[in-house]
Amino acid sequence: MDIIEIIEHKRDGLALTDEEIHYFIKNYVSGEVKEYQASALLMAIYLRGMNDHETATLTDEMRKSGDVFDLSDIPGLLVDKHSTGGVGDKVSLILGPMVASCGARLAKMSGRGLGHTGGTLDKLESIPGMRVILSEEEFKKQVTNVGMAIIGQNERLDPADKKLYALRDVTATIGSIPLIASSIMSKKLASGADCILLDVKYGSGAFMKTLEDAERLALTMVNIGRKLGKNVKAEVTDMDQPLGMAVGNNLEIKEVIDILKGRGSEDLRNLCLDSGSVMLVQAKLYEDEEEARKALIKNLDNGKAFEKFVEFVKAQGGDTNYILHPEKFEVAKHIIPIYSSKAGYVNRIDALIIGVSSMHLGGGREKLDDVIDMSAGIVLNKKVGDEVKEGELLATLYTNKENTEEIEAKVVTAFDISVHKVIKKKENLLIQ
């Protein structure tokens, strides 16, 4: 067997065997298979696709290419949640305390933000003192004792994906659903959780632009989980407007606090309740989602979910004074209001424009080594379906940068104001 044969098979539309996929991953990670050969195979996969069995096998071989966390000594079924990325997506930071307050254990590895989508680790690091790198033993101890931990990905986890992702980025093969699915699922499966909930987003602020593509990706990942013996479910959710009201790191932490204290935007709260209900059923703590939802609402109302967030921050070294007194967070030097030039109803808020604008204000990074301004970002005052009067506040920009007129003008264009009343919410789709 050699790599040229494997490339020819996929080029000609044949399904790769388990042995061929094993050979490719093993020898690509070791360096025996060269970058130009891997590039050719990736393009063949992009053009010819993969069936469910091939995709599951590729995922499993990538998972086994490095460390695989063994969390079996932690009692109960461990839950994890992954989002394909969006603007204002701080769901994991709300969901974790919610489900942990109901007895679940969340064991989560997260990444950093790049481009218009924010990263969970960056948001956490806007809390002074917060540690996102823990040893495996510290991670296990915290999940056992606190009920949740969110940390950075182990560098030895899934080296095949690290190499393949970098190669896909420069060979125009990012958009292949089997390659996207195997990239996401190999990392999730190597992280050691028993139950995984995937949030596959679609729309202007998401990687998947259409509902159809998001559904295909979600179904592919659920099928991978089923074939590899894991409890995996997927939600398909809308990212045609930012999630919640805040976009930007410490601004989003303040919104997390609001939601956990029973305040905050309806769309964000509802998504967290929907997702949390599914996760509690996956963890076999409740028989149905209706009962699970009631328990989550109760712990939002009685303060237990917020208390769990404080406990989590303290366990990872964060200064809880900032959580108890969010006014302590640094506020950007320039606070710029954006007003509506006409009356009507908000028909759409372009999430991509908002996300890119927040990045340009300093709230995100264009390159991995860029330094983020934790106080920069955008807070919306209106969401889709809301009525707007002429001259009314649409959003507020926060930045330490000077000369932001172009960004301000761009944010104005993100808001589509209609004379007709607009329906507020799209239903989320659960694939299981």
Summarised one tens digit per residue, pLDDT across range 172-219 is 998 899 999 999 999 999 988 999 999 999 988 888 889 999 999 999
Q: Please name each of the domains of the chain with its CATH number.
A: 3-49 (1.20.970.10), 78-159+167-324 (3.40.1030.10), 331-418 (3.90.1170.30)
pTM of structure: 0.91
> Out of 89, 122, 161, 258, which one is annotated catalytic?
161
Q: Is the pLDDT of residue 394 over 70?
A: yes
Active site residue 191: no
Active site residue 156: no
**Whole-number pLDDT of residue 428:** 77
Active site residue 334: no
**Whole-number pLDDT of residue 115:** 60
Tokens, residue 17:
């065997």
- Give percent of the chain with pLDDT exceeding 90: 83
**Whole-number pLDDT of residue 78:** 95
* Cα 398–Cα 403–Cα 409 angle in degrees, nearest 5: 75
For 344-361, how does the pLDDT look when each residue is reduced to its tens digit (9 = 90+)? 999 999 999 999 999 999
Q: Give the residue from 334, 332, 269 showing the smallest Cα distance to 297.
A: 269
**Whole-number pLDDT of residue 427:** 65
Active site residue 161: yes
Q: Is the pLDDT of residue 225 over 70?
A: yes
**Pairwise pLDDT comparison (145 vs 430), residue with the higher score:** 145
> Out of 187, 188, 254, 382, which one is annotated catalytic?
187
> Out of 168, 188, 201, 308, which one is annotated catalytic?
168
Tokens, residue 409:
């003008």
**Which amino acid is it at 302?**
N
> Out of 63, 81, 82, 365, which one is annotated catalytic?
82
114 band by pLDDT with thresholds 50, 70 and 90:
low
Taken in order 297, 298, 302, 308, the sign of the CA dihedral is negative
Could you tell me which residues come within 8 angstroms of residue 332 by beta carbon, excluding any fewer than 6 positions away?
362, 373, 375, 376, 398, 399, 400
**Whole-number pLDDT of residue 54:** 98
157 band by pLDDT with thresholds 50, 70 and 90:
confident
> Out of 65, 183, 204, 375, which one is annotated catalytic?
183
The residues facing 252 across adjacent strands are none
Taken in order 419, 420, 425, 426, the sign of the CA dihedral is negative
Could you tell me which residues come within 8 angstroms of residue 133 by beta carbon, excluding any fewer than 6 positions away?
151, 152
Contact assessment for residue 167 and residue 28, using Cβ atoms and an 8 Å cutoff = no
Distance CA 418, CA 372 (A): 35
Active site residue 204: no
**Whole-number pLDDT of residue 52:** 95
